[in-house]
Amino acid sequence: MKEGDMDLHEPFEGHEHATTSLKVLLLIFAVVLIAALGYFVYQTNTTPDSTDYSAKTVKDAAATNDATETATTETTTDDCDFTKTTVTLKTATTYDLGGGEEFDTLVCGYLTQKEENMALEGDEPLTKNRAYLTVTKFQDEKFKAALDKQISDGNTVNSAAAGTYQLGCGCYENSKIVSDTGDLTDAASQVKLLASTKDKPVMVKLGFQVHAGRGCSCCNLVDKLEVI
């Protein structure tokens, strides 16, 4: 063998020292790792669990639903906000509800129906399906005052009880809202009136016309109903 060549069978100097040092380092690393894992497990087992796994009661669920409904109600658009409409109205001066003046006004309300005997005294019973507009809001306080006066004077076509006003709007016959002289509303308005309820009133333009006094079985003082 030439000088300077390495004998593969010759022990490598420092080999045993390197192996011992590596073992020491690995042992230290293992001890640190075990200690860290032990601390993590200890913390996990001793920290209180703040998660609420309890089932909600019916009362809790109802409270949540009520809060949601309240928020929804507060953001609902007011369909009876008179300030947001640009409809043209004929102005009243005397507010004559008996056919003495032509004028328009706005109210908010819903349609109701009830069967009534409209026969004159002494005649055979005459049952009619009467239509009434129950008013929940007035645009014009002068119209409301005129209505109060008309009712106090004894006219029974319209009525007021406990703050609830009902305007006689003829009868609902053959799928139409009619008076003794003809239709009181157009087809589109009639659909909306029939769908209206106490919780979902509609804005209605009331039209009054000039005419002579008349008898009636489908009585009305308002001559035209138009849902705005």
pLDDT of residue 77: 46
By CB atoms closer than 10 A (0-12, 13-18, 19+), residue 220 is buried
List the one residue out of 212, 211, 191, 210 whose CA is nearest residue 202.
Answer: 191
Give the per-residue pLDDT at 47.
Answer: 61
pLDDT in tens, the chain (228 residues): 545 555 545 554 555 555 777 777 778 877 877 877 777 766 666 665 555 555 445 445 445 555 444 443 333 446 789 998 899 999 999 999 988 999 999 999 999 999 998 887 788 888 999 999 999 999 999 999 999 999 999 888 999 988 899 999 999 999 999 998 899 999 999 999 999 999 999 999 999 999 887 778 888 989 999 999
**What pLDDT does residue 27 have?**
83
83 touches 203 (CB < 8 A): no
pTM: 0.63
Dist. CA 161–CA 78, nearest whole Å: 25
Work out the angle at residue 66's Cα, subtended by the Cα atoms of residues 63 and 68, and round it to the nearest 5 degrees.
Answer: 110
Residue 156 in contact with residue 118, Cβ under 8 Å? Answer: no
Q: What is the pLDDT of residue 58?
A: 45
pLDDT of residue 171: 96
Q: What is residue 11's DSSP assignment? A: P
Residue 88 confidence (pLDDT): 93
* CA dist., res. 198 & res. 111, Å (int): 9
Q: Residue ranges per domain, the chain?
A: 82-227
Burial class (CB in 10 A: 0-12, 13-18, 19+), 205: buried
Residue bearing tokens 């947001």: 84
Task: Please name the residues in contact with 216: beta carbons below 8 A apart, sequence gap of 6 or more.
Answer: 118, 179, 180
Provide the pLDDT for residue 36: 74
CA distance 17 to 202: 97
Answer yes or no: are the C-beta atoms of 170 and 225 closer than 8 Å: no
Q: What is the CA radius of gyration of the chain?
A: 43
